[in-house]
Chain A
Amino acid sequence: MTDPARPAVEVSGLCISVELPGGSSRPIVEDISFAIPKGEVLALIGESGSGKTTIALAMMGYSRFGGHISADCIRVGDMRIDQMDAAGLRRLRGSRVAYIAQSAAAAFNPSRTIIAQVIEPLTVHGLASPAAARQRAIDLFRELALPWPETIGDRYPHQVSGGQLQRLMAAMALITGPELVILDEPTTALDVTTQVEVLNVFKSALAKSGATAIYVSHDLAVVAQMADRIVVLKDGRIAEQGEAAAVLHQPQSDYAKTLLAASQPVERAAGPSRADSVLSVEAVHAGYGRIREGRAAMPVIADVSFELGKGQSLGVIGESGSGKSTLARVIAGLLPASAGTVRLGGETLAAGLAERSKEQLRRVQIVFQNADTALNPAQTVFDTLARPLAFYHGITGAAASDRVARLLETIQLDPALARRRTAELSGGQKQRVNLARALAAEPDVLLCDEVTSALDTVVGAAILELIDGLRRDLGIATVFISHDLSMVRAFCDEMLVLYAGQAVEMCAKEAFPGSAHHPYTDLLVASVPELDSAWLASRGGQPGPAMPEAQVTGELCRFLPRCPLVITGTCDRLPPPLITAPGQRVLCHRHGKAEPSDQEHLVTGASR
């Protein structure tokens, strides 16, 4: 009955509109048509608000905010989604069309075991007996490369890591053998190193199940690994669509070109070399809870040191929870260090805010990650920017209006926005105001904590460009905190790699290519997806962690449980030495030894 040439999924003339209070309606997406051959993966990419998720959900006949779906045809296999009634749609969801959301943590019920929830789609639709369903789940766990496939299902959601939970959610989606799987930004919340593992298993599991898939993402490099076809969305319309390789390598539309350019930041020239030091951090230890004898109750950062000159930029990189934000809070004085010193242009800064002078506070400004919470929603843009002007410089009245207007100009915003409340701005505008507030103080040091992670690629690239220009023009020393290695490599003169609060490597931009790195740095470099679609397959055989989930405390190398190059007998007995080379400092037993081949070292290590 089915024609083999007929695509498995077909959408034509899809429009979704929401009703406005006045009775009129506003289209969110318009005139969307695409087709997916059986077993292929179609990617929907575009910035936030471009309608990616809206389209993906329409494939299940579902629309958020009470939107109205109209289409000439939405077909999955032999089902006409656009002609189904509510009961039919309910039967189809979770059985023949499955959905994997961005946050697995939100999709699981924390009070039930994982396996009970994974097999639920089968038992609810009466498709299998509980025992058979359980066996099927365990097979899937194995296929998704989960550790302890037999028993991991008996755990509760909080007892597994974020990457594992994401894979478990994939198991829940795949268990009914659906015809269409929708993956909505499934790796966005994960660290790069975890993302690679998850992408890898998703790809093979999808191939094995033979399901057709829609992959929603804003990250071109991720899409390059997963997709056979790409649909580029802009403002609810299709800007471009075609074979993945064609869209990635010969984009036709302007928007696709911009998106591509933004995802590959161009390397900047280094800042002034070794100018007089503005900020110096020496052997800082910090953590949360009560401080006793120079140790916090919950230590996070151990022995971090660096120095930063006028107009220079330092990138701090590491995975979530490695202590990047904690470091910024210590420098800003929000979190008193338990040991070590922070110096600002020769003056030693007190650990706590209360003991720092107003002038010292002015000279160090912090820009928080999330502009939604960093701006007071009850204040206008003008209030927000005028306060530091009045507080630090005593500028009020007409002079303040002038300065606010100029600040808005500097950050490329319309001065008319000054009267708006900050809650009424878009994400990108908020982040600019957030930045302008720090600039209003005329700081010497700017601490930028993941300033672009909540923004779209194109908007984020513009903000980075802006900060980069400011530090060159005004000579502001900047600390960029990020989990995005390519961004740090492009914008920073120096890079500090944090792993579990340890500064495992410090490397100057010039020294980065060509020199040997800390094994964790290598892992990070290897985990950044490239636009080349063969990249994921080519790095498939990465050595896995040696001792997953172990925790190292004390003086030993904290990367030990995950290190593929561990020297048994040395790494697990002695604290790692700090090896210094021109433009580089590495905390590792392996480093600086006369480069024997890795194999040899592993063997000598093991034979001891």
Chain B
Amino acid sequence: MRWAASLPLSGRIGLALVVFWLLVAIAGPMIAPYPVGRFVDQEVFSPLTGQFWLGSDYLGRDVLSRLIWGARYTVMLAAGAAALAVLAGTSVALFAAIRGGWIDEFISRAMDTLISIPSKIFSLVLVAAFGSSLPLLLLIAALIYIPGNYRIARALAVNLAEMDFVAVARARGEGALHIAWREILPNMIHPLLADMGLRFVFVVLLLSGLSFLGLGVQPPYADLGSLVRENISGLAQGSSAILSPALAIASLTVGANLLIDALKPGGGH
């Protein structure tokens, strides 16, 4: 808590938003007032009422319940994909940095090739080829953000691998695994966490975009992006069914961004 208090105001706002959405994602199903797919309202696009706090959607379902479930899919998919991307990207980066030479060269060029493919188009192609399922979406999102994380992790690791304490460990006879895991990685944790936060935001936007195009999470499940899409007809009347998931996406990504910015060295003081 002392740590939270040491953040600047923007960082504290970001932290509050992120924690809020995490809680919603984790505890959501327990607090959701109605089952996610049930038609509970006679009207469609009804406004905010005591019964339906956020109104109802285009089929007369409770928006609050669907939002809670949607946030769960979005947050969990994005967090999973970001964690996977960082895990894979950093492992490969450590391997490349410690081996060096042509191995490093080869992996780095391969990653450059991946990074040069536009991510939206790449994911569209993959979804078109393999269809859309939750595990596949997770893998695609992770795959797309591996090269970006790899670049950052490799730059960090190459600098650290040049340090004298790594030379000392090598002269002691330590293996590559010890050097990567015990000597180099602990010094990369902070920037890597910040990078993971950034990847998380990217994945949220990517998944929302895919879902909006109808290629992401498929009905009856819905993430925040699908909620926006399915209620698009309510846009003209300013329905809460479309505004609230849009606001949710915005507050989640802005919150994560604010938090990451505050965590950057120098930003926290």
A contact set with B: CB distance below 8 Å: 332-334, 353, 356, 358, 361-362, 365-366, 368-370, 373-379, 387-388, 391-392, 437, 441
Contact of A353 among B164, B171, B182 (CB under 8 A): B171
Complex Cα distance, B174 from A353, in Å, reads: 10
With A378-B186, A378-B187, A379-B186 known as contacts, the answer to whether A373 contacts B171 (CB < 8 A) is no
A-chain residues with CB within 8 Å of residue B168 when the two chains form the complex: 366, 368, 374, 437
- From the candidates B165, B182, B186, B189, name the one contacting A373 in the complex (CB within 8 A): B165
A394 CB to nearest B CB, Å:
14
Known pairs A374-B164, A379-B186, A387-B182. 5 more at Cβ < 8 A? A358-B173, A366-B171, A373-B165, A376-B186, A387-B172
> A437 CA to B186 CA in the complex, in Å?
19
Closest to B173 in A: A361
Q: How far is the CB of B250 from chain A (nearest CB, A)?
A: 35
The answer to whether B167 touches A353, judged by C-beta atoms less than 8 angstroms apart, is no
A379 to B187, CA, bound (A): 9
CA distance A462 to B183 in the complex (A): 29
A368 touches B172 (CB 8 A): no
Known A-B contacts A376-B186, A378-B186, A378-B187; the reply to A391 vs B174 at CB < 8 A is yes
B171 lies within 8 A of A332 (CB): yes
Interface string of B142-174 (1 = CB under 8 A from A): 000000000000000000000111011011111
A376 B167 Cβ-Cβ under 8 A: no
Q: Give the residue name and chain of the A residue nearest to B183 (CB).
A: A376
* Residue contact B164 to A370, C-beta cutoff 8 Å: yes
CB-based contact B170/A334 at 8 Å: yes
Known: A378-B187, A379-B186. A361 touches B164 (CB 8 A): no
Partner of A376, one of B171, B172, B187: B187
CB of A353 within 8 A of CB of B170, answer yes
* Smallest beta-carbon distance A54→chain B, Å: 22
Q: How far is the CA of A374 from the CA of B166 in the complex (A)?
A: 8
CB-CB nearest 6 A-B residue pairs: A378-B186, A374-B164, A361-B173, A368-B164, A373-B164, A376-B165
B90 CB, nearest partner CB in chain A, Å:
15
Q: Are B173 and A353 in contact (CB under 8 A)?
A: yes
Q: Is the CB of B163 within 8 A of A373?
A: yes
For the complex, count residues of B whose C-beta is within 8 A of A.
15
Specify which chain B residues have a CB less than 8 angstroms from the CB of A378 in the assembled complex: 186-187, 189
Which of A333, A370, A377 is close to B171, meaning CB atoms less than 8 Å apart?
Answer: A333
The reply to whether B171 and A334 contact each other, CB–CB distance below 8 Å, is: yes
Contact indicator per residue, chain B 248-259, by CB within 8 Å of chain A (1) or not (0): 000000000000
A601 to B: closest C-beta gap in Å: 45
Q: Which residues of B contact A333 (CB under 8 A)?
A: 171
Q: Which residues of A contact B172 (CB under 8 A)?
A: 361, 387-388, 391-392, 441
Q: A377–B184 Cα gap in the complex (Å)?
A: 10
Q: What residues on B are CB-neighbors of A362 within 8 Å?
A: 173
Whether the Cβ atoms of A391 and B173 lie closer than 8 Å is yes
23 inter-chain pairs at a CB distance below 8 angstroms, sorted by A residue, are A332-B171, A333-B171, A334-B170, A334-B171, A353-B170, A353-B173, A358-B173, A361-B173, A362-B173, A365-B171, A366-B167, A366-B171, A368-B164, A368-B167, A374-B165, A378-B186, A378-B187, A378-B189, A387-B172, A387-B182, A388-B172, A391-B173, A391-B174
Complex Cα spacing A34 to B171, Å: 51
Residues of B within 8 A of A356 (CB): 173
Residue of B nearest to A329 (CB): B167
- Inter-chain CA distance A198–B173, complex, in Å, is 44
Instruction: List A contacts of B164 (CB < 8 A).
Output: 368-370, 373-374
CB distance from A250 to the nearest CB of B (A): 43
- Residues of B within 8 Å of A369, CB to CB, are 164
Bound-complex Cα distance A358 to B167 (A): 15
A334 touches B186 (CB 8 A): no
Check A334/B173 contact, CB under 8 A, given A376-B187, A378-B186.
no
Q: Which residue of B lies closest to A21 (CB)?
A: B269
The residue on A at minimum CB distance from B185 is: A378
CB-CB under 8 A from A365, the residues of chain B are 171
Distance in angstroms between the alpha carbons of A375 and B186 in the assembled complex: 13
For B167, give its contact among A334, A361, A375, A388 (CB under 8 Å): A334
Tell me how far the C-beta of B101 lies from the nearest C-beta in chain A, rounded to whole angstroms.
11
Give the residue name and chain of the A residue nearest to B269 (CB): A21
Task: Name the CB-closest residue of A to B174.
Answer: A391
Most A Cβ at <10 Å: residue of B163, B171, B187: B171
Q: Once the chains are docked, how many angstroms separate the CA of A336 from the CA of B36?
A: 67
Interface centre among B163, B164, B186, B187 (most CB of A within 10 A): B164
For the complex formed, measure the closest distance between the CB of A166 and the CB atoms of chain B, giving whole angstroms.
27
| Alpha-carbon separation in the docked complex, A375 to B183 (Å) | 10
Per-residue CB proximity of B177-199 to A under 8 Å, as 1/0?
Answer: 00000110011010000000000
Q: Nearest chain B CB to A544's CB is how many angstroms away? A: 37
What residues of B have a CB within 8 angstroms of the CB of A392 in the complex?
A: 172
Q: Which residues of B contact A374 (CB under 8 A)?
A: 164-165, 168
- Contacting pair B170 A377 (CB below 8 A): no
Measured between alpha carbons, how far is A392 from B187 in the docked complex, in Å?
25
